[in-house]
């Protein structure tokens, strides 16, 4: 990561074999460590990506969090640049007490606020080509299903900050939602790091 800081890198592009299970435990995942530690966006192509980059349909996987707030402007900017449609998908994994009807209204309000803040930079056309979907169930599986069924060309998502040691450990362990998504996605995944606390 020293090279990224020294050169003022704006984007890291990395491929991954999508190693999982025992191989991941033994070898670890360089891609997962990079995604966890990077201070700039990381575009990752897993083994299921077999098409040229042409971002016409973008899926922005969101939580109602600061990490998503930081990622949404990137998704909007890319949608504007590529004249792409944009879907915001919030998957409630049932870990909380929130009722589905409440989740939908909170998600729509959250996205509306982000769009209102970005209106001057992204333009009305992008907002007109965007839509909000709320789903309920296992987060990784439902994001992957949406990406496959709807033929998305890119997934954008925010990343919570990691410390160096925990990122290195996580690179060897199963269960990281971001890595599982990257390893299985049929399209590239752009992860946007949250700013680290000073």
Which pLDDT belongs to residue 95? 63
Which pLDDT belongs to residue 148? 93
Phi first, then psi, for residue 35 (nearest 5°) are -60, -40
Quote the CA–CA distance of 4 and 116 in Å, as a whole number: 32
Quote the CA–CA distance of 82 and 100 in Å, as a whole number: 33
The contacts of residue 79 (CB under 8 Å, 6+ apart) are 58, 85, 86, 122, 126, 129, 130
Quote the CA–CA distance of 188 and 178 in Å, as a whole number: 12
Judged against a pLDDT cut of 60, whether residue 23 lies above it is answered with no
Judged against a pLDDT cut of 70, whether residue 33 lies above it is answered with yes
Joined tokens for residue 145: 């299903």
* Alpha-carbon distances of 196 from 38, 41, 66, rounded to whole Å: 10, 13, 12
Quote the CA–CA distance of 152 and 138 in Å, as a whole number: 19
Quote the CA–CA distance of 62 and 64 in Å, as a whole number: 7
Tell how strand 57-62 and strand 12-15 pair up.
unpaired
Q: Greater confidence, 126 or 29?
A: 126
| Average of per-residue pLDDT across 26-42 | 75
Judged against a pLDDT cut of 80, whether residue 51 lies above it is answered with no
Q: Which of 60-69, 113-122, 130-139, 142-151 has the lowest mean pLDDT?
A: 113-122
> At 36, is the pLDDT very low, low, confident or very high (cuts 50, 70, 90)?
confident
pLDDT tens-digit series, residues 85-110: 999 999 987 666 667 677 888 999 99
Which pLDDT belongs to residue 75? 94
pLDDT tens-digit series, residues 112-129: 999 888 876 776 778 788
> What is the four-CA torsion angle of 7, 82, 66, 63, rounded to 10 degrees?
-130
| Strand, coil or helix: 88 | strand
Percent of the chain whose predicted confidence (pLDDT) is above 70: 76
Judged against a pLDDT cut of 60, whether residue 174 lies above it is answered with no
Residue whose token pair is 């996605």: 185
Q: What domains does the chain contain, in order, with CATH numbers?
A: 18-193 (3.40.50.620)
pTM for the complete prediction? 0.83
| Strand, coil or helix: 155 | strand
Identify the DSSP state of 93: -
Mean pLDDT, rounded, of the chain? 80
């Amino acid at each position: 990561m020293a090279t990224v800081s020294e050169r003022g890198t704006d984007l890291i592009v990395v491929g991954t074999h999508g190693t999982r299970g025992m191989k991941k435990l033994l070898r670890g995942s360089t891609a997962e460590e990079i995604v966890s530690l990077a201070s700039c966006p990381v575009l990752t192509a897993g083994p299921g990506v077999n098409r040229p980059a042409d971002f016409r349909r973008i899926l922005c996987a969101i939580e109602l969090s600061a990490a998503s707030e930081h990622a949404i402007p990137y998704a909007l900017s890319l949608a504007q640049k590529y004249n792409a449609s944009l879907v915001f998908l919030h998957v409630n994994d049932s870990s909380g007490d929130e009722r589905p009807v409440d989740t939908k209204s909170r998600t729509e309000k959250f996205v509306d606020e982000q769009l209102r803040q970005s209106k001057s930079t992204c333009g009305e056309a992008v907002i007109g080509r965007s839509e909000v979907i709320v789903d309920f169930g296992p987060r990784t599986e439902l994001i992957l299903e949406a990406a496959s069924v709807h033929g998305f060309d890119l997934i954008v998502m925010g990343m919570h900050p990691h410390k160096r040691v925990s990122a290195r450990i996580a690179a060897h362990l199963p269960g990281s939602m971001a890595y599982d998504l990257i390893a299985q996605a049929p399209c590239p995944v752009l992860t946007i790091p949250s700013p680290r606390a000073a």
